[in-house]
Copies of this chain bind each other. A is one copy, B any other.
Amino acid sequence: MTSGTGVGVVEPQRARFDAPLRLRSGQTLPGFELAYETYGTLNAARSNAILVCHALSGHQHVAGVHADAPNNLGWWDNIVGPGRPLDTDRFFVVGVNNLGGCHGSTGPASLNPATDAPWGRDFPIVTVEDWIEAQARLADRLGVSQWAATIGGSLGGMQAMQWTIEHPGRVRHALVIAAAPKLSAENIAFNEVARQAILSDPDYAAGKRPERGLRLARMLGHITYLSDDQMADKFGRRLRHGEYKYGFGVEFEVESYLRHQGDKFAGWFDADTYLRMTKALDYYDPAAACGGDLAAALAKAEAKFLVVSFTTDWRFSPERSREIVNALVKNHQNVAYAEIESQHGHDSFLMENAHYHRVVANYLANVKT
């Protein structure tokens, strides 16, 4: 289990950037804000900073709690803190909400300066590359010219990797966890069903919050985050009422779990953010610029890599992580790879798993600050 008290109470922070940001889509964002948090202390050499990149529904609140919400622990608190793998006694850890997000960074809920109304569905499509550029401005603001490491799971891992391509000189280590070098057709297909659930919700067309669509998107998402094995262990065919009721209420516990997860998510997440996060995933494909050659795309990276996958992850299976490893090996680049035995499917990267955390801790213990 996680030991120690963690980072404790942390302060939400914001940074405003006034220079326009030209996006991959061709649109330009006229300035923006990023919501972020930091844990630990930036050393005098400014050489101990780690950037934590978030996944689809993540945000800047990575660790600790806020004074006004003492129970709302950061989403990766189990790995960040004094003595934890991202050891805040050694490292200055930065969490940031990505552009297009719904946790305080400029996104669909922000005011469009051209109209003084919320952007809503007019907010531009943003990409992993756009996020790196925004994060780079935050690094400049913090005085971090080079990250000791970039790290993330899933879509966050894609950002950790893309940093090494966009800004080779600004990353010493990239920890790419439960990620893939691009989505497969099946990955895109799942995203597309989730998007269509939102886009076809009549409330979305009516300019209202599409709770039905968000609920379905999240229910479907959860199936792909868990593993078949884990669902079998956690729910199996366990019945809510001990016997079949022959109706459309909850019969099986797994139905109850999914409905609950869907309802919860639909109550707070922004649909326009969700739509954009899934598009960023779909578009990500660094090899495309090199004719599909991932090794060529990664050749310019100067970072050392730790790639981690999980045995039961079927959203981004170990095979997908090995594509990244193989490309780096082909280039004679420095890469360590761990395939972690875990029952928790894609969600494993969020879970406390002694082997996994030891691998990350040992890797970072050897990162000079």
Q: Is A236 close to B, CB under 8 A? A: yes
The B-contacting residues of A in range 202-248, CB under 8 angstroms, are 202, 212, 215-216, 219-220, 222-223, 226, 228, 231-232, 234-237, 244, 246-248
The segment from A35-43, A44-52, A148-156, A252-260 found at the interface with B is: A252-260
A166 within 8 A of B: no
Bound Cα distance A255, B190 (Å) = 10
Tell whether, in the assembled complex, residue A196 and residue B215 are in contact, meaning their CB atoms are under 8 Å apart.
yes
A185 within 8 A of B: yes
- Using Cβ atoms and an 8 Å threshold, which residues of chain B touch A195? 248
* Residue A133 at the chain B interface, CB threshold 8 Å: no
Task: Tell me if B255 and A192 are in contact (CB < 8 A).
Answer: yes
Q: Mark A19-48, 1 if CB is under 8 A from B, else 0.
A: 000001111000000000000000000000
> Are B188 and A248 closer than 8 Å at their CB atoms?
no
Residue on B nearest A191 in the bound complex, by CB = B255
Q: Which residues of B contact A262 (CB under 8 A)?
A: 196
Chain B minimum-CB-distance residue to A227: B186
B199 touches A219 (CB 8 A): no
Q: Complex: how many Å from CA A226 to CA B185?
A: 11
Contact (Cβ within 8 A) B216 A184: no
Chain B residues, CB < 8 A from A197: 197, 216
Interchain CB contact under 8 A, B282 and A185: no
A246 touches which one: B24, B182, B248, B258 (CB < 8 A)?
B24
Within 8 Å of chain B (Cβ to Cβ): is A326? no
A121 to B, closest residue via Cβ? B248
A248 to B199, CA, bound (A): 9
* A338 on the B face (CB < 8 A): no
| Residue from B216, B235, B251 in contact with A193 in the complex, judged by beta carbons closer than 8 Å | B216
A231 B189 Cβ-Cβ under 8 A: yes
Bound: A201/B201 CA distance, A = 8
* 23 sample A-B contacts, Cβ–Cβ < 8 Å, listed by A number: A24-B244, A25-B244, A26-B246, A125-B246, A184-B232, A184-B237, A185-B235, A185-B254, A186-B232, A188-B255, A189-B219, A189-B222, A189-B254, A189-B258, A190-B223, A193-B216, A193-B219, A193-B220, A196-B216, A196-B262, A244-B283, A248-B275, A252-B282
